[in-house]
Structure 1
Amino acid sequence: MSSNKQILSLLCNKHRLLYNCNHPMVTTHCNYKKHSTKVTANPKVDWNQAVTEAEKVVGHPTSFLNPRWLLNDEIANVAVHLQKLVGSNHPLITTAKSLFNNENSNMQTWGLIVLLLSKAASQTDQFNAEEDARAGVLHRQKELAEITEMIRIGHLVHRGLVNFCKKNHRLEPAELNDMTFGNKIALLSGDYLLGTSCMKLACIKNHSLLELMSCALKDLSESAFIGRRDSQENPLPAIPPEDRTNYAVNEWTHQNYLGSGSFLAKSCKGTLILAGHDEFMQEQAHEFGKHLALAWQANLDLVPFIAQDRNTPFNLNCAPVMYHIEYDPSILMEIDKGIETVENVNFGNVFDIVIRGPGVELTKELQQKHSQKAIDILTSTFKESEARTALTNIITSIGF
């Protein structure tokens, strides 16, 4: 255990996390006490403040970086091996850094969303005996929140596998070793997270939830294979039909619903199934999770273009690019240079073209539309509470 604590301390220092009770990522290392400070709606709340206040509402931090996970022997061993990849170009390092850099990221807050929605919906009378008095949620709902975090992270880790056999240039021996070793760690650690989450899901012993989350996993897997791809399986925009009406919205929504919206939506629905809520409430929870995930993705798609930095990498399937293709498909002449590998695309040129078109403003409208729909569901379906307010603050904090 002492060696594991040293690993945790090293990780926290390496990424400049505050290893004490004041940081939302690591508060369970200490005796976390629920604050009595009332959470109020604030249209100007920033992301970190919104997440910190939300964790106070549920009584404990829900981040994957909770030391309960970091001090686990398997996770600690992965952390040791990750140190060997520092300085390499393996995508697993980027994923690991994203776990520690939580600003405006949805990588570590999906479990928190599930718990907040659980508390906002409250419990039905027949389930009160199972309620966690401190958090105001069922023990099984807390388990589902942890499962949601584990599946999400496991999926992202698996996406970091590098198909280096298809790279269009010869790898140096040192780089080949890094890629091979990184792939092994990504495969094994992702398998561990997904395998453990499936086992915990089965232990909940709820057939409806198991079927629901199985469908969510199917959607996650399908998202990695739909649409055009380069040799590294990086996504490329679909060729628009002759009638391009609603091309951008339809393509983007389909891709991102499978890639993230379905999983968060079904997790939100699942937590209400566990509490015995009726089908109407379950469907409202599903719609809330879907719109929140899509609003989040639209916001992430905007980041490189709002930053006005043409050197910031971006996904060619992001909403601003998709909207520009609908507006002027001639941009595909540059994008299609990446059919073999997206490394052949001049992203600076694509950026300059998109920034001069309507894509950025239309993406802002898309993000605002999904954010507003999520808020409307909250206010019309769930009673006023600190949990509902915390969810509203999180939604308003992700917009530009």
Structure 2
Amino acid sequence: MQTHILRRSTLPVLRSTVAANRAYTTAQSTGPCVLCSHNLRSVPRTSSSGLRISTRPTPRRHTASWSATLTKASELVAEAAPSFTLNPATIVASEMKMLTKNIQDLLSSGHPSLDKVAKYYVRSEGKHLRPLVVLLMARATYNCPKIEQDGTKRDSISASINIPISSPTILQDFNPTYQGTEPTSMRAAVDPQTTPSDITTQISPSQKRLAEITEMIHAASLLHDDVIDNAEARRGNPSGNLAFGNKMAILAGDFLLGRASVALARLRDAEVVELLATVIANLVEGEFMQLHNGAGETISEKYSPSAFDYYIQKTYLKSASLISKSCRAAAILGGSTKEIADAAYLYGKNLGLSFQLVDDLLDYTITSQDLGKPAQADLKLGLATAPVLFAWEQYEELGPLIVRKFSEPGDVEKALALVQRSNGLERTRELAASFSAKAIEAISIFPDSEAREGLEQIARKGLTRKK
């Protein structure tokens, strides 16, 4: 009862915080952003006392303004975030405990080197945020309205998630974990994972497999991204490309996507296959948008609201598509109605955007040691993320630097100084908070449950994380 009261009492605080702080303004009027539903128009900012605050470029200030900016951002989060009384991971602890082993079983290869590289990013050291959200969504939608259908259909689907659709002799996909002395179909028939969902877990085997597939796709994207970015560290360890070389990292990422696709097909649900297959295409499209941004093809040296539209679209494709469509797929596999599936999607979309905005912020506010990877990496890679784009509105001299991707000597240092002097970090934090609030609002139609509260807390805690 106390946690229920806590949840309801803190929602107005978060909403009022977002309402009192404009997410962002722009220099000229345009239509609303399709993805984030924010109107991109110039509006005077007001303080809590109602006084108008100028949006014109602020004069240069000494380095104390940097501390003031960070303090303001911290105060915003402290006001928005309640005292947490529940660890979301404990709600699905048994499923999360088996997650890494199950993924490693799916990725087993007869080639020792491939086996090692493919499993490199699915070790237990990761946050595993995406499968955690998928499992919580499965439980949160368990008591939601269901579509009318044969109740045994989904149990039969869950009972076949390890059974090949084509003949194993045709597939020629050797997995030592699943291909022992007994035929694959016999092993699947007695696999304890293939029992229908019960009243205790409220999560079906097909939904558990979906969580594993989601993490496999994410791990594959990390292997590929680190090659593109010439990364040196990931989660405090050498990156995959540094540990095994670019060729092995790329091939291992492809292998993960292949095995994830096979597991996805065996869920035997056409809409779920469509959703997750589209995610893979979205990841590539988002990466292309990121590679071309700033090359003079999409933006000019003069600030335009379209630059932020482009950034939000790219962020959705690269960071929010996977979690949003996985959340929708979890609801579909549970037999939920369209309204519930739509709400699950909106939660995932807004959560993904919020998390990426916080990632952009951490690149400027956290040290490399705490972050587990080099800080200020985005600027060094030539990426203009939210803090830079917000700062660009105040300091037009950022335009040429963004267009040339901070490639000339001193560009990175100059851009960093301008971001620190601007209100870009504060506005990035505010925008992340607004997306977090939208994620929470999206699942307000779900029945009260620990799983729903866990999803809400993930959205809130994401604003205060340090890595």
Q: Report the TM-score, using the length of structure 1 for normalisation.
A: 0.69
What's the offset of the Cα at 1:68?
A: 4.1
CA contact (8 A) 1:223 1:255 kept: yes
SS in 1 for 2:250: helix
What's the offset of the Cα at 1:373?
A: 0.5
Give the alignment of 1:237-386 within 5 angstroms. 238-240=298-300, 244=304, 246-247=305-306, 249-307=308-366, 312-315=375-378, 316-338=383-405, 342=407, 346-378=411-443, 380-386=444-450
The answer for the alignment partner of 1:56 in structure 2 is 90
The answer for the alignment partner of 1:169 in structure 2 is none
Give the alignment of 1:3-152 within 5 angstroms. 43-44=81-82, 53-62=87-96, 66-70=100-104, 73-74=108-109, 77=112, 102=126, 108-122=128-142, 124=146, 126=151, 130-152=196-218
**Counterparts of 1:354 and 1:63, CA distance in 2:** 41
Change (3 A) 1:306 1:137: same
**Deviations along 1:252-307, whole A, 9 cap, x unmatched?**
21111111212211111111111221211111111110000000001111113333
What's the offset of the Cα at 1:149?
A: 0.6
What's the offset of the Cα at 1:236?
A: 9.1
CA contact (8 A) 1:119 1:137 kept: yes
The answer for the alignment partner of 1:190 in structure 2 is 253
Change (3 A) 1:348 1:243: closer
CA contact (8 A) 1:45 1:396 kept: no
**One-letter code aligned to 2:90:** K
**One-letter code aligned to 1:292:** L
**Counterparts of 1:179 and 1:343, CA distance in 2:** 26
**Counterparts of 1:346 and 1:122, CA distance in 2:** 52
SS in 2 for 1:159: helix
Change (3 A) 1:328 1:217: same
Q: How many residues align?
A: 323
CA contact (8 A) 1:261 1:289 kept: yes
CA contact (8 A) 2:395 2:418 kept: no
5+ long unaligned stretches in structure 1: 1-37, 83-91, 165-177
**Counterparts of 2:334 and 2:229, CA distance in 1:** 43
Q: Percent identity?
A: 26
CA contact (8 A) 1:44 1:397 kept: no
**Deviations along 1:128-168, whole A, 9 cap, x unmatched?**
8531444211111111111111011111111222599xxxx
**Counterparts of 1:80 and 1:364, CA distance in 2:** 40
* Structure number with bigger Rg: 2
Change (3 A) 1:330 1:391: same
Change (3 A) 1:144 1:67: closer
Change (3 A) 1:355 1:242: closer
**Counterparts of 1:120 and 1:254, CA distance in 2:** 28
**One-letter code aligned to 1:374:** A
**Deviations along 1:315-362, whole A, 9 cap, x unmatched?**
2232101212233332133344447xx585642221111111121111
**Deviations along 1:172-191, whole A, 9 cap, x unmatched?**
xxxxxx87951122122112
CA contact (8 A) 2:103 2:122 kept: no
The answer for the alignment partner of 1:390 in structure 2 is 454
The answer for the alignment partner of 1:31 in structure 2 is none
Higher relative CO (CA 8 A, sep ≥ 6), structure 1 or 2?
A: 2
**What's the RMSD between the two structures over aligned residues?**
3.7
Change (3 A) 1:325 1:154: same
SS in 2 for 1:329: coil
**Counterparts of 2:417 and 2:462, CA distance in 1:** 25
SS in 1 for 2:96: coil
Change (3 A) 1:247 1:45: farther
**Counterparts of 2:276 and 2:266, CA distance in 1:** 13
Change (3 A) 1:261 1:63: farther
**One-letter code aligned to 2:452:** R
**Counterparts of 1:163 and 1:296, CA distance in 2:** 20
5+ long unaligned stretches in structure 2: 11-80, 156-195, 231-240, 369-373
Change (3 A) 1:228 1:221: closer
CA contact (8 A) 1:237 1:317 kept: no
**Counterparts of 1:191 and 1:320, CA distance in 2:** 33
**Deviations along 1:3-38, whole A, 9 cap, x unmatched?**
xxxxxxxxxxxxxxxxxxxxxxxxxxxxxxxxxxx8
